[in-house]
Structure 1
Amino acid sequence: MTTNSEAPVPTTPVPTVWPAFRARDARALIAFLVDAFGFEETLVVPGEGDLVAHAQLSWPHGGGVMLGSERPGTGWHVGAGGAGCYVVVPDDAALDAVRARARAAGADAGDVVKQGYGSREFTVRDPEGNHWSFGTYRGEPRV
């Protein structure tokens, strides 16, 4: 007989997929993402002049994003403002808090919508034009 205390505990690997994008003004975008959404500045590697060679912003609930200054002509060029990221929040209260924080920072955060798959979500654009969706849907568990 197996009891709940003997059942295997699922483990989640450390995040190894990171949304990454470029910005016309990476330093201003970093400040916005920290202030408006609550990301934490983990690493910022300066580039030439005012450029950011690489930055990592961590999401308090796990994972994060990487970004840097737009640099046309490099091997990996993604135009500024072309990213879309979905960010998981732990519950309804956290979702409402992130939306209120974004609006207090001047972001045009949309209405919270209840999705057919159970998530509560809202969308917002950052000053560079990237699309962000914050929601309670954590994805389906691995089997």
Structure 2
Amino acid sequence: MADKTTPPPQVWPTLRARDARALIRFLVDAFGFVETAVYGEGDRVHHAELAWPPGGGIMLGSHRDDPDDPWALTPGTFGAYVVTDDPDGLHDRAVKAGATVVRELNDTDYGSRDFAVRDPEGNLWSFGTYRGEPVAAA
């Protein structure tokens, strides 16, 4: 019998935040990400992982004012598309948690139901039912 579990993510989008701990709380409360690991002291987050329950996840950490930082990402410049089976419910949850709507719920010409919001750091999050085109067999 084939294994029916979701494989662990192999691509991890990453972002930096001015207030990483607050952003983690927002992403959990507003969107339903699951906090799986957070390493750091006080307000500083060195590394955090948040899982998306249907599969996948993101990594994030606190912004560093270090010109030699090899992973220098500007807070608020991240964008992601996340697949959800319940865009209407997730839209309501996100708005209730304080997400800023940049594109209201809509039905696309390619068959998806989508919406887009900004988190408190300014990052763009688009959620919808479109799962991408299937990978062609080799």
TM-score of the aligned structures, taking structure 1 as reference length: 0.85
What is the number of residues matched between the two proteins?
131
Amino acid corresponding to residue 89 of structure 1 in structure 2:
T
Partner residue of 1:118? 111
Does structure 1 conserve the Cα–Cα contact (< 8 Å) formed by 2:7 and 2:55? no
Question: How far off is 1:13 after superposition?
Answer: 5.6
Quick check: 1:67 aligned with 2:60?
yes
Greater strand percent: which structure?
2
Segments of structure 1 that go 5 or more residues without pairing to the other structure are 1-11
SS of 2:104's equivalent in the other structure is coil
Amino acid corresponding to residue 114 of structure 1 in structure 2:
D
RMSD of aligned alpha carbons: 1.9
TM-score of the aligned structures, taking structure 2 as reference length: 0.88
Question: How far off is 1:72 after superposition?
Answer: 2.8
Quick check: 1:42 aligned with 2:36?
yes
Question: How far off is 1:14 after superposition?
Answer: 3.8
- Hey, which bits of structure 1, 4+ residues long, moved more than 3 A? none
Higher Cα radius of gyration: 1
Q: Structure 1 35/13 Cα, relative in aligned 2: closer, same or farther at 3 Å?
A: closer
Q: What is the CA–CA distance in structure 2 between the aligned matches of 1:28 and 1:13, rounded to whole Å?
A: 28
Partner residue of 1:83? 78
User: Percent identity among equivalent residues?
Assistant: 59
